[in-house]
Copies of this chain bind each other. A is one copy, B any other.
Amino acid sequence: MQGSSTSWNPHDRLIAGLRAVGSLSPEDEAAARQLPLRIQPIGPHTDVLREGDRPTECCLILDGFFVRHKSVAGGHRQILSFHMLGDIPDLECLLLPTVHYSLGSLTPGRVAFIPHAALRQTVLAAPELGDLLWRATLLDASILRAWLVSIGRRPAYQRVAHLFCEVFMRMRALGIAEETGFTLPITQMEMADALGLSAVHINRTLQQLRQDGVIVSHGKYHGFTDWDRLSKAGDFDPGYLFSRGDA
């Protein structure tokens, strides 16, 4: 599980991540394979990037579950997004000098650092690769907007359901979720920070979802008996998740 370390090499992961965003010509793939990758294992609950940093490398996720997050005056924390294999959460730093959030792991994992300089050079030589990266940041923003809607206007029950739908579909697309359920390797506290709720309330909401038979949980594994009910409960419309214009 967790897309366990099949013997994919890092560049394969990169290519797969790019293909998830759009089609990749052989030349572009070749260009991407030239990129230098510095592999680094990351412990659990470790920040790779801190608010205010001015990174010189991007961070490709090879393994593990990561979040972008930010804290506010009152001490509360907001998780901005979840990231997993193939994502480059700090891609924007290629064009924006300073990050205004932190990037951290929840589980142990591995990342590959790509120097900005190399990436810029490659993109210059392979403009369509650049478009792909641009599109990746746009999809990221798309997910962000969906979160904003959820957090701004949906009650807890729908919020949780919506998050389940989204993360499940993403993991499914990556081949790291079962057909009818998935393992969400995060605590209820972290779910709370993602959804703008308290951990206690997350707990009660999950109980409600279980009681309603919408989900069946065994530890961090959550099974869905009825996708229709879940997606309706979450007011979920997957169109925003993928770039292919079918919807």
- Judged by a CB distance under 8 angstroms, whether A175 is at the interface is no
Also in contact, A196 and B153, with CB within 8 A (given A73-B158, A127-B127, A235-B73) = yes
The 9 closest A-B pairs by CB, nearest first: A97-B245, A152-B196, A73-B235, A141-B141, A78-B152, A100-B240, A76-B153, A78-B149, A95-B135
- Judged by a CB distance under 8 angstroms, whether A124 is at the interface is yes
Q: List 20 A-B contacts (CB under 8 A).
A: A70-B149, A72-B158, A72-B235, A78-B149, A78-B153, A92-B138, A95-B243, A96-B135, A96-B142, A96-B243, A96-B245, A100-B142, A100-B239, A127-B127, A130-B130, A130-B134, A134-B137, A144-B148, A148-B151, A151-B196
Contact with B along A111-132 (1 / 0, CB 8 A): 0000000000000100100110
- Judged by a CB distance under 8 angstroms, whether A145 is at the interface is yes
- Judged by a CB distance under 8 angstroms, whether A247 is at the interface is yes
The answer on a CB contact under 8 Å between B243 and A139 is no
- Judged by a CB distance under 8 angstroms, whether A80 is at the interface is yes
Number of A interface residues in the complex (CB < 8 A): 50
Contact with B along A136-168 (1 / 0, CB 8 A): 011111101111110111100010000000000
- Judged by a CB distance under 8 angstroms, whether A98 is at the interface is yes
* Other A-B pairs beyond A52-B247, A78-B153, 6, CB < 8 Å: A68-B145, A74-B153, A95-B134, A96-B138, A100-B237, A148-B151
Question: Within the complex, which residue of B72, B138, B235, B247 is in contact with A149, where a contact is CB–CB below 8 Å?
Answer: B72
Chain B nearest CB, measured from A120 CB (Å):
9
Report Cα–Cα, A152/B195, bound state, in Å: 7
Mark out the residues of chain A between 71 and 97 whose CB falls within 8 Å of any chain B CB in the assembled complex.
Answer: 72-74, 76-78, 80, 92, 95-97
- Judged by a CB distance under 8 angstroms, whether A54 is at the interface is yes
Chain B nearest CB, measured from A189 CB (Å):
14
Determine the chain B residues whose CB is within 8 A of the CB of A148 once the complex forms. 78, 80, 144, 147-148, 151
Contact with B along A10-45 (1 / 0, CB 8 A): 000000000000000000000000000000000000
